[in-house]
Structure 1
Amino acid sequence: MPRDTMAGIDYTQTSRRPAWAALPAPVRDRISSELRAPVDLVEPAGGGFTNGFAAVVSGGTQRLFVKAVPATDASIFAAYVREAEVLRALPTGLPVPLLHSADLVLAGGIQWQLLCFEAVDGRMPGQPWTVTDLSAVHQSLLTVQSGLRRLPPGLSGSSMVDEFFGAGSPAGVIDCWGRDGGLPSYLPPLTGQRMSELKALTLLGREALAGDSVLHNDLRADNIIIRHPRGHPGEPAAVFCDWNFLSTGPAWADWVALLVYPRHAGVDVDPWLTESPLSADAHPDHIDSWLAVLAALMVTSGAQPELPTSPLLRAHQRFTARILIEWISERRLWEP
């Protein structure tokens, strides 16, 4: 029986984005130029947790998926600039939406990063997760892992070990399981012994997350499109979006982080772990370590102030923390 896979969160409606009319005229004009026609239909993207403009726009006989953000929104602007850089360098033939153009547009003295993609006709997986969708994602991830080996040097991002244990690592992640006051009430109850095990698993991440495989590093349902069938048997069914956070680490890290959601939806993910070429050789303790590091990150992030521009982000983080701890408890045979 599928469980509460979304925990009250509709992942197709998590974003709060600017309206088309809020874009400055030079940005709208550049989009019309890319379409070669005036924009006559705008379909805002509902998924994701950022507040940049994102929508499918139509004009004449053309459709594009468009993202735009001003330089005044420093973090999102940098992410869009980075995405353009990565997409230009990715090998051809990967299951990635085609980038038509990436422009800096000056409007009112402010630079805007504009990205125009092919509009992929499809849907978000995980509504709920099914074995069919998971199989499509797995096949595309195998292709992506192979293709990323050919990424030019210098574009692979920082290592996962540095991200979580280096000088700029998220505050509180390493000592998450040793804080005064215990754990938040939304997590399953844990004894002092289990907390100590979680801390040890988290610290094991320095070893577990070492690796030189290039990873997408943000593979969630809202960054995946399952194509609507169009009678093209050679076309990948799952397409991966949002290439902002490349990192290096073990080849199985993206796959394991994604599996937490299908597992919670009632899919038996154990065979997918033990039989997939991505994770078959991964040490079980290393997998548990990655789950513990992720859980610590989500607990720490979920305790931050709510964001008006992304009102469901903290709820998503707390939900993810809970189901990660549930999976660790199951894998390590912890008694309820």
Structure 2
Amino acid sequence: MSHPPAAGTRVPWHKVHPAVRAAVEEFLGGRVAEAITQPGGFSPAAAVRLRTDEGRRAFVKAVGPEPNPDTVLLYRSELKIAAALPESVPAPRLLTGFELEGWVVLVFEDVEAGHPELPWRRDELDRVLHAIDRMSAALTPAPIDAPPISDVFGPAFKGWRKLLKEDTDGLDPWALRHLGELAELESGWAEAAAGDSLVHADLRADNILLTDDRVYVVDWPWACVGAPWFDRMGMLPSVGMQGGPPPHELLTDPDPAVTSVVAALAGYFVRQSRQPDPPGLPTVREFQRAQGVVALDWVRRRTGWS
């Protein structure tokens, strides 16, 4: 595998708080006879396909306050969003969710599906991109209450502006040469990304499931209201670094608004990849670094700066 995996440290079912496991079994109406951990994703949490002794199935996500309390906040946000998503959204149905003993728990229908094959196959990529475009159209205007994109990513999309005041040793020479211009371009991202669509805002292969005839989009904690093209744009750096076509071949809109947001996304990946590993997420920085390489090349192409 030539690209870093989208995988972190999962919590096995038997290490989930006993009260949480008991509550899930009570909801499912039977003892858990099989628990299969799903490896994709970065969160230091449980992500488990369960089967009870009576044959009922569910997919359960559960996270406690250790080792990363920020993940609890994300799961709390996902619980709120998942409970509100209309049936028209191509996402597995939330069966129940609750908080108990400091843990946040989401119980979804279990979908017999798999992630896209990596490196990306063009037929699967085309299916996914078409599904994302259809989803964006169906979610315009946003059918539920969600925060504006500027609130969700405002603190994060300041990468180039922060690097103006930080040690830039080892920074890409082109980025270093244009750091001031990148910071200025990035500063307009919030206005550029504004819109009335509900966007997932964190699309990657590990957040997509495929059946023979359906595309499911999972993991919605970052959902917000923004431009309808944001999901396609935000996904493309990961597609490029996971063996798919480069972003400039998959999004050709020359709109300067798109360029501004691409610059902000690149600045986020580049700066984040230079930070220490967050607690319980030992692989995320390398994944961000690889996306940053692709996103920075995309900015270079879109700006035409030498």
Using structure 1 for the length normalisation, give the TM-score: 0.80
1:140 aligns with 2:131: yes
Residue 11 (structure 2) aligned to one of 12, 15, 18: 18
CA distance in 1, matches of 2:55, 2:288: 40
How far apart, in 2, do the equivalents of 1:285 and 1:150 lie?
A: 23
Instruction: List aligned pairs for 1:1-336, cutoff 5 A.
Output: 6=3, 9-11=4-6, 14-59=7-52, 60-70=54-64, 74-105=69-100, 110-125=101-116, 127-149=118-140, 151=142, 155-157=145-147, 159-165=148-154, 169-170=155-156, 173-179=159-165, 181-182=167-168, 184-185=170-171, 187=172, 189-190=173-174, 193-227=177-211, 229=212, 235-236=213-214, 238-264=215-241, 265-267=243-245, 269-270=247-248, 272-274=250-252, 282-334=253-305
- Alpha-carbon distance change, 15 to 268 in structure 1, aligned in 2, over 3 angstroms: closer
The CA deviation at 1:46 is: 0.9
Q: What displacement does 1:118 show?
A: 1.4
CA–CA separation in structure 2 for the residues paired with 1:66 and 1:182: 42
Cα offset for 1:51?
Answer: 0.9
Q: Any gaps of 5 or more consecutive residues in structure 1?
A: 230-234, 275-281
* Cα deviation, residue 273, structure 1: 2.0
Range with bigger deviation, 138-147 or 250-259: 138-147
Decide whether the 8 Å contact of 1:298 with 1:321 is kept in 2: yes
Mapped to 1, the partners of 2:115 and 2:269 lie a distance apart of 22
**1:313, CA displacement in angstroms?**
0.9
Alpha carbons of structure 1 residues 181 and 67: separation in structure 2 relative to 1, 3 Å: closer
For the residues of structure 2 that align with 1:328 and 1:152, how far apart are their CA atoms? 32
**CA offset at residue 71 of structure 1?**
5.3
The alpha-carbon deviation at position 84 of structure 1 amounts to 2.0
User: How many correspondences in the alignment?
Assistant: 303
Deviations 1:281-334 (Å, cap 9, x if unpaired)? x54322221111011112222222223511101111111111111222233345
Q: Distance in 1 between matches of 2:291 and 2:297?
A: 10
**1 CA distance for matches of 2:102 and 2:35?**
22
Amino acid at match of 1:247: C
- Percent identity of paired positions between Structure 1 and Structure 2: 26
Deviations 1:169-204 (A, max 9, x none): 23952514534543535x4x3176533332232123
Once residues 164 and 62 of structure 1 are traced to their aligned partners in structure 2, the CA distance between those partners, rounded to angstroms, is: 39
Contact preservation (8 Å) 2:20, 2:103: yes
Q: Alpha carbons of 1:239 and 1:17: their partners in 2 closer, same or farther (altered >3 Å)?
A: same
In structure 2, list runs of 5 or more residues that go unmatched: none
Gap change, CA 1:152 and 1:257, over 3 Å in 2: closer
